[in-house]
Amino acid sequence: MTSNPTKHAAPKAPSGLKLFIVAPECVPFAKTGGLADVVGALPKALVKRGHQVSVLLPRYRGIEPGPVVLPSVSIPMGRKLLFPDVMDGRERDGVSFYFVDYPAFYDRKSLYGENSNDYPDNAERYALFSRTVLEFAKRTGPPDVIHCHDWQSSLVPVLLKTLYATDPQLRRVGSVMTVHNLAYQGIFPPDSLERVSLPADLFSIDRLEFYGLISWLKGGLIYADYVSTVSKKYAKEIQTPEYGHGLDGVIRQRADTVTGILNGVDYDEWNPETDPHIAAHYSADNLEGKLVCKKDLLEQFGLPTTDLRKPVIGIVSRFATQKGFDLIAEDADAFMKNDLFLVALGTGEPHFEELFRQLAKKYPTKMAVRVAYDNALAHKIEAGSDIFLMPSRWEPCGLNQIYSLRYGTVPVVRATGGLDDTVEPYDPKTGHGTGFRFTRYAASALLECLLTALKVYRSEPAAWRRLMINGMKKDFSWNHSAGEYEELFYRVVKKVQRG
């Protein structure tokens, strides 16, 4: 990490900024991936730095209703008006939460879709959300900056610079579009513009048109005052065709306003010294508890506990193309013939679920999988494994490898995006480094890297211990990254004031 702790150490901003954070997910309310962890933690860190922060989310199923603070907002939707409420979600850790309540859209089984199909009205659902946020801003006093996350809130910058551009209340509100994953773009048919009451002239190549369709994320990338993504390396990668998902040209065009800010992690949640989910606590000064966690993990997965020296490789992941598990599929036997345990927790694309199920069947004493979403088990894997595997094809930031570092679980990763920015390669000469990396996206490169790690694990226990401790001592807490966001928000305010 290129962290300079002193640079961002002192909470500044005597008066502070008024910030709206608009996102589709946030722990503890709704989560499908790391975005929710980020939106759960960044606002707290911004409040500590003296800012006034409100988080706005849809009120999904399971989120308790609160008092209605803005009833019956009129939102145009094609030929109709819809009337959502805004509810007060109360304050937590100094952060105010508000929920856009419209049960017909958000009171559903899942966030974005069911049985691998997106909900057919996602355009309407998130257009309603974005517009309601702006109406709320008008009624409650506009923020200095609206910080938008992923395609679900990317209409906010579009609306600010088009339909609301001359609104006396909102015309001085700045926006930042943060991309957590360029692969998810919110692509809809051209008639979606009309369906959500956006101007038809947005259908053009320099606006939201994307190969004959509409890309909401492209809108956010074009209209936001600044664009950020979640690691410095990914900010560079997405300007190349290999990682640009068709939007690299758009991002290159405004490269001077694109920045990478590495995610922090919430050590209140992910800390082996206090974690309530794990079998024993431990720290860099006393690692004894980690072996207890390893035994417990093997038991959880029904694997033998007779030889605790054998390395446990852990995986916690969405099972998606992004995560690189086809590199295991390509040569699974070569992987499994090593003397190791492999435990995997995840859900997602059926062929990856099947891959791990088949491996568990074929190697029942070495491999086990849990096809589920299970937060407590995720913590047990971080604590009980020796190695954490993330062979991602692309990885904007990645949080699990950062959690692994804190738990003394050595990451083996592909050197891409945030994995490259957070895992320092082990150098046998100096003893420096925190993990193992490979670059070429190939099964043979993954295997070679894993074998190098296993060799150090087996034959150099002192070096391995040092590696573990090097990782445990790294600090990826939010304060530094929140400081970088703060600087970015002040840049936005300046830009907006210049007009």
**Which residues contribute to the site for ligand ADP (CB under 6 A)?**
33-35, 37, 316-318, 345-347, 373-375, 378, 397-400
Considering CB distances under 5 to 8 angstroms, the limit depending on partner class, which of ligand GLC, ligand ADP, none binds residue 52?
none
Q: Does 346 bind ligand GLC (CB under 6 A)?
A: no
Position among 19, 111, 230, 258 found at the interface with ligand GLC (CB under 6 A)? 230
**Nearest to ligand GLC of 183, 445 (CB atom):** 183
Question: From the list ligand GLC, ligand ADP, none, which binds 230 (C-beta under 5 to 8 Å, kind-based)?
Answer: ligand GLC
Which residue's CB is nearer to ligand ADP, number 11 or number 398?
A: 398
Please give the structure tokens belonging to residue 349: 């694309």
Neighbours of 297 (CB within 10 A): 25
CA–CA dist 150, 134 (Å, integer): 17
Our separate counts of H helices and E strands in the chain read 18, 22
- Tell me the backbone φ, ψ of residue 347, rounded to 5 degrees: -140, 160
Give the footprint of ligand GLC on residues 38-57 (CB under 6 A): 38
Considering only residues 247 to 286 of the shown chain, the ones binding ligand GLC according to CB under 6 A are 263
**Of 73, 67, 72, nearest to 96 (Cα)?**
67
> With CB under 6 A as the contact rule, which of the stretches 59-67, 78-86, 396-404, 438-446 interacts with ligand GLC?
396-404
Closest to ligand GLC by CB, 294 or 323: 323
Nearest to 399 by CA among 415, 379, 419, 369: 419
Query: Judged by CB under 6 A, does residue 348 bind ligand GLC?
Result: no
Quick one: 158 or 345, whose CB is closer to ligand ADP?
A: 345
Residue 57 and residue 29 in contact, taking contact as beta carbons nearer than 8 Å = yes
Whose Cβ is closer to ligand GLC: residue 295's or residue 318's?
Answer: 318
Q: Which region, left, alpha or beta, applies to residue 5 given φ > 0 means left and ψ of -120 to 50 means alpha?
A: alpha
**Rounded CA gap, 59 and 69, in Å?**
14
| Beta bridge pairs of residue 314 | 343, 388
Q: Which does 316 bind (CB under 5 to 8 A by kind): ligand ADP, ligand GLC, none?
A: ligand ADP
Q: How far is the CB of 355 from ligand ADP (least distance, A)?
A: 15
- Residue found under tokens 């706005």: 56
Amino acid, single-letter form, for residue 487: E
**Residue 33, CB-side half-sphere exposure with 13 Å CA sphere:** 21
Q: Where do we find the tokens 């991936």?
A: 33
Site for ligand GLC in 168-207 (CB under 6 A): 180-181
Task: Pick the closest to residue 225 from 279, 267, 173 (CA basis).
Answer: 173
101, 135, 395, 486: which one binds ligand GLC (CB under 6 A): 395
* Shortest distance in whole angstroms from residue 38 CB to ligand GLC: 5
Encode burial over 201-216: b for 16+ CB neighbours within 10 A, e otherwise: ebbeeebbbbeeebbb
Q: Which is nearer to ligand GLC, 153 or 192 (CB)?
A: 153
Q: Which of residues 414-433 bind ligand GLC (CB under 6 A)?
A: 418
**Binding piece for ligand GLC, criterion CB under 6 A, among 34-42, 196-204, 370-378, 453-461:** 34-42
- Does position 393 bind ligand GLC by CB under 6 A? no
Which residues lie near ligand GLC (CB under 6 A)?
33-35, 38, 180-181, 230, 263, 395-399, 418
